[in-house]
Structure 1
Amino acid sequence: MAKQYYLSNNGTHIGPYTHETVLKKIEAQEHQWTDYVYDENVGEWMMLLEHPEFAQKLAQKPSVRPSATPLPKAGFANALKDKEWFILKEGNNYGPFCQLELIQMLQEKTLFEYDYIWHAKLPAWKRVAEVEEFSSDKIRGMKDSKDVDVAEIFFRRRHARASYGASLIVHNNKTVFRGQALEISAGGAGVLIDTPNLQPGQSLFLHFQPGDGVPPFNAVCQIVSKQFVKDAANTSATVEPVKYGVKFTTLSQSARESIKNFTTKAA
């Protein structure tokens, strides 16, 4: 019997489908690479572009060399939906994707600010953080957009988030740091850490002390973003705190459930 998969889109679970059927639905644009698939062998939902069996197919798309060909002019929403963006991961080109899909990937932490992307108007592959279209000001403007299709992607998070206050002990296998949680979800957290020397892609061990009704818990994380902030409340600090976005890579089921319960109540 062929292996079966279930698909999820906007909270609806459908299937089961064979591997071939899922690919046909993507080709027909009934589903996107950013939709979720459930594989019983894996035991959890993950984005199609993250699933090894489907990501392999995506990586087989023809490589596209940078070109100086100008893009046709389009309206605001239409331009964001043009599938003209490519992602470079581990030597493979993935795409094309539209700008909105890349923004959704940034939210879902399947694309990071240190990953390389390319578009016909770029002279070469650039990191997401270096491309103006993905600057914090541009994304904030999209989030505040009155265009329904554009604004909607900011409400399709896989994990609900909530403000969360708890102190942290952070370890990177060399040094122990102290920190403070700012927000949390079952998939990761936003934290302040008293060092500017940690980098995206680096793994950390975090011990969250009790806070806001969530028991203490430990988590192995990967840094996915880094932002320098000014701590106006602590002008005497010798080191300005740095806000890091982290993705949980190892987290106990009991801790995950406690976080889900907390974020659901806070919503």
Structure 2
Amino acid sequence: MNKQYYLSNNGTHIGPYTLETVMKKIESQEHQWTDYVYDEAMGEWVMLLEHPEFSAKLSSKPATRPSSVPTAASFKTNLKDKEWFILKEGNNYGPFCQLDLVQMLQEKTLFEYDYVWHAKLPAWKRVAEVEDFSPEAIRKLKESHEQELAEIFFRRRHLRASYGASLIVHNNKTVFRGQALEISAGGAGVLIDNPNLQPGQSLFLHFQPGDGVPPFNAVCQIVSKQYIKDGVSAADPVKYGVKFTTLSQSVRESIRNYTTAKVA
């Protein structure tokens, strides 16, 4: 009997499917590499891009580097051309189109510090160093009013809602205090009274009870950082976006129920 998988997208669980069926759904763009799959053997929901069996299918398509800097004519890339590759933890994945990467940036599954490559680049570069993904380029796409682009910017894998709860934050060295601003089953927006934390860093967060959600603990990774004031001092809180890397399924469901009720 073939191994079966369930897929999740926008809070809906469907399946079971075989690996081959899931791959067909990805190829037909019915599902994305950033959607989640449930593996009974692992006992948890994992992003397709990070699941070992599915990522092996993706990483089997190797990226090759150019021997010279491409000409200006080769820079004319369609947003839907699958010509981008991502480097994560020593493995390259792809090809993706530019719209795929924009969507990953919106969903916080690709970050400014991750490396990407395209035929017009002489080497792997961090997303923050690539003009196609600069704030100005993303803003132009967002303001283009194209329906397909609008769906990317408004599509979210996890519903988000305002959430007020105090936090205790630990980074294996020091304990800080914080305040939750918003929450989803995938992560949270929080204020922390430390301006020196950086994207990519792991944190342990203890959420006090708030707005009907019981207290819970979560291991998180910082994915974004925003200064609240122009003149930053050590006493000024900073808004951090975090994704949950370790969170019990019961807590995740509790948060999902909370955000669904708030948004409805």
TM-score, structure 2 as length reference: 0.83
- Kept in 2: contact 1:88–1:115 (CA 8 A): yes
Name the counterpart of 2:20.
Answer: 20
**Corresponding residue SS for 1:200:** coil
| Distance across 1 between alignment mates of 2:34 and 2:168 | 34
Q: Taking structure 1 as reference, are residues 140 and 163 closer, same or farther at Cα in structure 2, changes over 3 Å only?
A: farther
Runs (5+) with no aligned partner, structure 1? none
- Kept in 2, the 8 Å contact 1:34–1:101? The answer is no
Q: How far 1:29 moved relative to its partner?
A: 5.5
**1:96 matched residue in structure 2:** 95
Structure 1 residue 16, shift from structure 2 partner: 4.0
Taking the TM superposition and a 5 Å limit, the aligned residue runs for 1:118-197 are 118-197=117-196
Segment of structure 1 superposing worse, 93-102 or 105-114: 105-114
Q: Does the 8 Å CA contact 2:165/2:179 hold for their aligned counterparts?
A: yes
1:191-210 correspondence runs (5 A): 191-210=190-209
Which residue identity does 2:252 align to in structure 1?
Answer: R
**Cα deviation code 1:69-123 (max 9, x no counterpart):** 343636xxxx322212110112222111112211222233322221111222333
1:24 is displaced (CA, Å) by 4.8
Q: Where does residue 244 of structure 2 map in the other structure?
A: 248
Q: CA 1:72/1:135 → structure 2, altered by over 3 Å: closer, same or farther?
A: closer
- Runs of 5+ unmatched residues, structure 2: none
SS class of match (1:104): helix
Equivalence map 1:220-231=2 (5 Å): 220-230=219-229
Summarize the Cα distance change of 1:218–1:48 in structure 2 as closer, same or farther, 3 Å threshold.
closer
Contact 1:105–1:111 (8 Å) recurs in 2: yes
One-letter amino acid of the structure 2 residue matched with residue 224 of structure 1: V
SS at match of 2:85: strand
Tell me the CA shift for residue 12 of structure 1: 7.0
Change (3 A) 1:91 1:236: closer
Which residue does the alignment assign to 1:71? 74
Residues 124/241 of structure 1: CA separation in 2 closer, same or farther (3 Å cut): farther
Which residue does 1:53 correspond to in 2?
53
Using the TM superposition, give the Cα deviation of residue 65 of structure 1 relative to its aligned residue in structure 2, in angstroms: 0.2
Cα distance, 1:150 vs structure 2: 0.9
Distance 1:15 1:46 in 2: 15
SS in 2 for 1:49: helix
Question: Match of 1:37, as an amino acid?
Answer: V
**Counterpart amino acid of residue 64 in structure 2:** V
Aligned partners of 2:134, 2:181: CA distance in 1, in Å? 21
Determine the C-alpha separation between the residues in 1 that align with 2:204 and 2:158.
Answer: 21
Identical aligned pairs, as a percentage? 80
| 1:217–1:255 CA contact under 8 A, matched in 2 | yes
**Could you tell me how far apart the structure 1 residues matched to 2:6 and 2:190 are?**
34
1:142 counterpart SS class: helix
TM-score, normalised to structure 1, is 0.83
| Per-residue deviation, 1:176 | 1.0
SS of 2:82's partner is coil
Aligned to 1:263: 259
Structure 1 residues 89, 7: closer, same or farther in 2, change over 3 A?
same
- In structure 2, give the amino acid aligned to 1:71: S
**Residue correspondences, number:** 260
Structure 1 residues 11 and 221: CA distance shift in structure 2, 3 A: closer
Q: Deviations over 1:165-204 (max 9, x none)?
A: 3222211111011222222111111112222322222221
- Return the letter of the residue paired with 1:134: F
The one-letter code sitting in structure 1 at the alignment partner of 2:69 is: A
In the alignment, residue 159 of structure 1 is paired with which amino acid? Answer: H
User: Secondary structure in 2 aligned to 1:81?
Assistant: coil
Cα 1:183/1:5, change in 2 over 3 Å: same
